[in-house]
């Protein structure tokens, strides 16, 4: 399939539309570059330069409790790159429970779009499918967290999950720490064996499929839960001194739950989230219970931006158990990565240019 390229209209008069397939063809989008861009965005957020309010979600569940309609709205601006991103998603989902484990499953097709605006001019610069961006920005954020919270000599990664998110996590963590072994578990033995074979080649690190969750945690320096589970995937009592844990499920009340148990939260000496405020907005149960019961205070939960900016502590000893709750998508993630992608796509003549007149209202007395 060839890239969907049209005759260029000139940068100043076009909005570039990029599909997931277009972005898969981009050359030169290095994992380390993506991580650095996302880290810069979080540093600006911690310095109160970037802006990234909590996401908002709308859900509609029919009276019979069947498939739930879901709409997602995320925005954020990174002034140093003159970019604001607006991500919107529209889809449906259902909750499935198997062997006592509940997970969120998409029930139809998915509309995911990221709009990129120039904050200097207000112009729309690009419209991007969000699937290509989404796994990479989540993984890059996890890697930023690991860069400040995992031990510098971390060499063993324990991974739950074998999907697209898990693959992106492997690549990002391998670019951040000198990994020598990755142990992976998922409920499907065939999936985890195939994942281990593929990712060993792609990451240049031994990836070993293991047969039970405890083997993932034991002896690992970093533990990552890259699943769609709303039930705990490991026992928090298995955590060992010096481990760093990253979780990526950021639930809301339509599909509440946690992929780690309460013991994992109790064991954590340092807890960092992408956005503390999102816990309150979505009533996220992963940490909210601990705050409501007095185990944690809000002051003990730090935002990642604060850590990156040096305003809150990262790891301060080898024996600390650290937890990064990668708990929400943020507009600054999409702005940082989207800006990189848009520049490379234009340089490589990828995508479909659209006249900006399709999106602009000129003149008149319309109120802003």
CA distances from 174 to 180, 181, 256, 267 (A): 9, 10, 31, 26
Determine the pLDDT at residue 5: 41
Q: How many C-beta neighbours within 10 Å does residue 3 have?
A: 18
What does residue 16 show for φ and ψ, rounded to 5 degrees? -90, 120
Alpha helix locations (H) across 204-235? 213-217
Q: How far apart are CA 265 and CA 327, in angstroms?
A: 14
Q: How far apart are CA 113 and CA 18, in angstroms?
A: 10
Determine the pLDDT at residue 6: 38
- Secondary structure of residue 194 in the 3-state scheme: helix
Fold of 11-133+330-358: ornithine cyclodeaminase, domain 1 (3.30.1780)
Determine the pLDDT at residue 13: 65
Determine the pLDDT at residue 311: 98
Q: Which two tokens stand for residue 33?
A: 């570059």
Determine the pLDDT at residue 4: 41
| Bridge partners (DSSP) listed for residue 86 | 75, 115
Q: How far apart are CA 7 and CA 125, in angstroms?
A: 17
Determine the pLDDT at residue 237: 98
Query: Do residues 350 and 3 make contact, with C-beta atoms less than 8 angstroms apart?
Result: yes
Determine the pLDDT at residue 366: 65
| CA 348 to chain CA mean position, Å | 26
Q: How far apart are CA 197 and CA 218, in angstroms?
A: 21
Cα torsion for 203, 145, 76, 133, to the nearest 10°?
10
- The candidate with the shortest Cα–Cα distance to 351, out of 46, 104, 24, is 24
Find the helix or strand (DSSP H, E) in which 114 lies. strand 111-118
Cα torsion for 202, 207, 213, 214, to the nearest 10°?
-140
Residue 324 burial class via C-beta count within 10 angstroms: exposed 0-12, middle 13-18, buried 19 and up: buried
Determine the pLDDT at residue 255: 64
What does residue 104 show for φ and ψ, rounded to 5 degrees? -95, 125
Indicate the CATH number of 139-325 among 3.40.470.10, 3.40.50.720, 1.10.1130.10, 3.40.718.10: 3.40.50.720
- Every domain of the chain and the residues it spans: 11-133+330-358, 139-325
Query: Do residues 361 and 35 make contact, with C-beta atoms less than 8 angstroms apart?
Result: no
Query: Do residues 356 and 127 make contact, with C-beta atoms less than 8 angstroms apart?
Result: no
In terms of phi and psi (left: phi > 0; alpha: psi -120 to 50; beta: otherwise), the region of 138 is: alpha
Determine the pLDDT at residue 3: 42
Q: How far apart are CA 256 and CA 327, in angstroms?
A: 12
Q: Give the up-direction half-sphere exposure of residue 356: CA atoms within 13 A in the CB hemisphere.
A: 20
Q: How far apart are CA 70 and CA 25, in angstroms?
A: 30
Query: Do residues 104 and 255 make contact, with C-beta atoms less than 8 angstroms apart?
Result: yes
Determine the pLDDT at residue 7: 40
Print pLDDT tens along the chain (368 aa).
344 443 443 444 699 999 999 999 999 999 999 999 999 999 999 999 999 999 999 989 888 777 889 899 999 999 999 999 999 999 988 877 887 777 777 777 889 999 999 999 999 999 999 999 999 999 999 999 999 999 999 999 999 999 999 999 999 999 999 999 999 999 999 999 999 999 999 999 999 999 999 999 999 999 999 998 889 999 999 999 999 999 998 777 666 779 999 999 999 999 999 999 999 999 999 999 999 999 999 999 999 999 999 999 999 999 999 999 999 999 999 999 999 999 999 999 999 999 999 998 877 776 66
């Amino acid at each position: 399939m060839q890239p969907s390229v049209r005759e260029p209209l000139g940068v100043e008069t076009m909005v570039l539309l990029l599909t997931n397939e277009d972005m898969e063809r981009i050359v030169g989008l290095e994992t380390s570059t993506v991580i650095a861009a996302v880290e810069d965005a979080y540093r600006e957020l911690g310095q109160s330069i970037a802006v990234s309010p909590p996401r908002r979600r709308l859900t509609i569940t029919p009276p019979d409790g069947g498939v739930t309609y879901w709409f997602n709205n995320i925005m954020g601006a990174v002034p140093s790159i003159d970019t604001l991103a607006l991500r919107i998603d529209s889809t449906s989902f259902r909750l499935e429970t198997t062997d006592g484990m509940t997970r969120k499953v998409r029930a139809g097709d998915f509309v995911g779009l990221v709009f990129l605006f120039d904050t200097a001019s207000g112009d729309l610069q690009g419209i991007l499918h969000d699937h290509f961006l989404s796994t990479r920005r989540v993984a890059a954020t996890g890697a930023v967290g690991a860069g400040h919270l995992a031990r510098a000599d971390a060499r063993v990664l324990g991974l739950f999950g074998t999907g697209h998110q898990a693959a992106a996590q492997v690549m990002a963590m391998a670019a951040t720490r000198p990994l020598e072994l990755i142990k992976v578990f998922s409920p499907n033995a065939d999936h985890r064996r195939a994942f281990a074979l593929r990712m060993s080649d792609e990451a240049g690190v031994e990836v070993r499929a293991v047969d039970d969750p405890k083997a993932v945690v034991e002896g690992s320096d970093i533990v990552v839960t890259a699943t769609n589970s709303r039930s705990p995937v490991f026992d928090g009592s298995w955590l060992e001194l010096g481990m760093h844990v990253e979780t990526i499920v950021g639930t809301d009340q339509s599909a509440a739950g946690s992929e780690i148990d309460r013991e994992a939260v109790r064991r954590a000496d340092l807890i960092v989230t992408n956005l503390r405020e999102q816990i309150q907005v979505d009533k996220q149960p992963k940490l909210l219970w601990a705050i409501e019961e007095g185990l944690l205070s809000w002051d003990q939960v730090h935002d990642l931006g604060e850590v990156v900016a040096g305003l809150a502590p990262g790891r301060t000893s080898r024996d600390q158990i650290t937890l990064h709750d990668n708990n929400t998508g943020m507009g600054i993630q999409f702005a940082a990565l989207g800006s990189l992608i848009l520049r490379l796509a234009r340089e490589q003549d990828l995508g479909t240019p659209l006249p900006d007149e399709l999106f602009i209202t000129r003149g008149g007395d319309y109120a802003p």
